Amino acid sequence: MVEKLAKAAWMKGRKGPVVLVIMDGVGFGKYKDGDAVAAAYKPNLDWLMANCPNTRLKAHGQAVGLPSDADMGNSEVGHNAIGSGRVFDQGAKLVSGSIASGKMFEGQAWKDIAGNAIAKKSTLHFIGLFSDGNVHSHIDHLKAMMQQAAKEGVGRIRVHILLDGRDVGETSALEYVTPFEAFLAELRQQGCDARIASGGGRMFITMDRYNANWGMVERGWHTHVLGDGRQFASATEAIETLRKETGAIDQDLGAFVIAENGQPVGTIEDGDSVVYFNFRGDRALEITAAFEQDDFDKFDRVRRPNVVYAGMMEYDGDLHVPKRYLTAPPSIDRTSGEYLCALGLRTLACSETQKYGHVTYFYNGNKSGRIDDKLETYLEVPSDIVPFEQRPWMKGAEITDTMVEGILSGNYDFLRCNFPNGDMVGHTGVFQAAKIGVECVDLCIGRIRRAVEKVGGVLVITADHGNADDMFEHKKDGSLSMENGQPKVKTAHSLNPVPCIVYDPDFQGEYQTTLREGLGISSIAATCINLLGYEAPADYDPSVLVH
C-alpha cells in the first residue's frame, strides 16, 4: 500500500472533478501534407489551444522507455507512462538487453523450450509479428533466438509470420521475407532445418486483443497449429498472389500455409516447443490462452497439441500469463491510481473495447482488475467489429455519454477516458477517414468541456503518441514519397510530440499560465495529482504546472 500524499498548499480545491482525456494517436504533425489532425475541422480543440495553458510533450523513444529516439511510441508504453508518472524500460529495450547479455539463454524458460526440442528431436516453432517495427516485436530478436537454438543443437525450426503493414510500411512484407529466406538458407547449410511454415496479416489472424474478435485467433490456430488453409510453395508466392488478388495491404492479407506435395511443412504437434515472440501483451493474451488453458471455450481447437509454450514476456502480471516467459517485464509500482485510492478518491475509467485495456490494465502498470473495487469504476463500451475506416467515429459518442454522465453525477473525483479514433483509424491509412475520426473526437471534447465547466472541474487533454498527424510517407528532404502518382500511405505511428492542454474554468492564479516545456507524457500523472490538490510523489516526473 502506498503512502498518502500531502496536500498541495498552493492549489485551491475545485468543486468538480479532474477529467483526463487521452486522444489516442493525435499529435502535432511535422508536414502539412498527410496531417489529418491539422486538416480536420476541430473548433473545440482550436479554441482550447488558443485560450488555455498548453504545451507539447514527448511521446516516443526514451521519453517512454524505448531504446532510442528513433523508436515510435505506442499506446501500451504511452499509457504505462501516463499512469505511472515515471519512465520504465519497456519491452523492446528489455528484450534487446536480455539477448545482448545472454541472460535470456541462461534462463529456465529458454532451457525448457530449447531443451525439449533437442531431447525429443521435435520442432521449435516461432509465432509473431514479422517486422522491425519494435512496437510488438523485432525481427532481430527472432533471428537471435533462432541462431542460438541452432547453435545449441535444435534441428528443426518453423516460423509462423504475422505480416505487419501497420508499424512499418503498409506493403513492406517482402522487404522482410526476402532477406529472411537468405538467413534461413544459411541456417540450413549449418544443419538446422529452418523454414517459414505459415502466415497472414496481423489484422486477419492471431493478433486480436481485448476479446474483440476471437475469429481472428481461430483462423490463426487453424493456420499455424493445424496447417489448415490455402497452400503455397513459399511465403513470397503467397504474399504476391494474395496481394494481386485482393489489393489488400499487409496487415489485412489472408492466411496462408506453406506446403510440399500437398502437405503443410510445419504443423504444431505433440512434443513440439512454441515461442510467441511478441513482447507486447495486448495482442498476445488470446493466442496464449488457446495454447495454455485447459477449459478454453472461445472456439473449437479441434486438437490441442501438448507443447512446451513460452511468451517473450509475461503478458499479464496479475494472472501470470503465460506460465513460462523468456524476459521479465518492467516492474511498474506506485502508479497514480494506487495513490488516488490511498487518498480515498473515486475514479471512473472508460473507453471502447479497442482501448479499454489501455485506460485500465496498462494505465495501472500492466495489472488486471481494479486497485480498489469500492473506489474505482471501469466501463467498457463494446467496439464494432468492422474495418475502422468504415466507422471512423467508432464509439466516440457512447464514450462521451458515459463521461458526461459521470462528470455530472458528482460520484467521481477523477475520470479518464481514451478516444481510439486517431490511432485505430490512422492505422488504416485512409486519410479522409482519419480526418473524420479526429473531427469526431473534437465533437466529443466539446461535450465533455461543457460538462466540466458546468460542475466546476478541470479538464486535461493529451495523447499517448502520434499517428493521424502523419498519414503520408515523406523523404528526408521533406517532400512527399509518391507511388503510382499518389502520396505513399503511412500506417505507422509518428515521432511527433503530443498536446497537453489544461482547461480550468475556475482558475484562481495558483499556477503560471505558461506550462513547462521539454517534458514527456509521464508528466501527466503529477499534473493530475496537483490539480486534485495534492503534491505528487517526489520521484514522479515533474508536473507541467509551474507554481
The string of pLDDT tens digits covering residues 133-169 is 998 999 999 999 999 999 999 999 999 999 999 899 9
Catalytic member of 75, 122, 131, 522: 75
Question: Pairing mode, if any, of strands 498-503 and 54-57?
Answer: antiparallel
Q: What percent of the chain has pLDDT over 90?
A: 89
pLDDT band at 331; cut points 50, 70, 90: confident
The yes-or-no verdict on residue 497 having pLDDT over 70 is yes
pLDDT band at 70; cut points 50, 70, 90: confident
pLDDT band at 2; cut points 50, 70, 90: very high
* pLDDT tens figures, 389-438: 999 999 999 999 999 999 999 999 999 999 999 999 999 999 999 999 99
Instruction: Match 541472460 to its residue by C-alpha cell.
Output: 103
pLDDT value, residue 212: 86
pLDDT value, residue 317: 63
pLDDT value, residue 316: 73
Give the ranges where 353-430 is alpha helix by DSSP (H): 353-357, 396-409, 421-424
Least confident of 134-138, 230-234, 343-347, 421-425: 134-138
Catalytic residue check, 75: yes
Domains of the chain (ranges, CATH numbers): 18-89+331-531 (3.40.720.10), 92-327 (3.40.1450.10)
* pLDDT tens figures, 362-389: 999 988 899 999 999 999 999 999 999 9
The answer to whether 275 and 241 have CB atoms below 8 angstroms apart is no
Phi-psi region of 210 (alpha: psi -120 to 50; beta: other; left: phi over 0): left
The answer to whether 421 and 437 have CB atoms below 8 angstroms apart is yes
pLDDT value, residue 92: 87
* pLDDT tens figures, 109-119: 999 999 999 99
pLDDT value, residue 42: 98
pLDDT value, residue 354: 93
pLDDT value, residue 484: 87
pLDDT band at 39; cut points 50, 70, 90: very high
Tell me the average pLDDT of the chain. 96
* pLDDT tens figures, 449-465: 999 999 999 999 999 99
Sheet holding 54-57, edge to edge: 54-57, 498-503, 458-462, 18-23, 414-419, 347-352, 376-381
Question: Pairing mode, if any, of strands 486-487 and 482-483?
Answer: antiparallel
| Residue 136 to residue 207: CA distance in whole angstroms | 10
Burial category of 374 from C-beta neighbours within 10 Å (exposed 0-12, middle 13-18, buried 19 and up): exposed
Mean pLDDT of 474-486: 89
* pLDDT tens figures, 304-318: 999 999 999 988 765
The yes-or-no verdict on residue 516 having pLDDT over 70 is yes
| Residue 547 to residue 545: CA distance in whole angstroms | 6
pLDDT value, residue 330: 80
Q: Which among 387, 396, 482, 487 is positioned nearest to 427, based on CA atoms? A: 387
The three cell numbers of residue 55 are 504545451
pLDDT value, residue 318: 57
Annotate 160-217 with DSSP letters as a single string: EEEE-SSSS-TT-HHHHHHHHHHHHHHHHHTT-EEEEEEEEETTTSS---TTS-HHHH
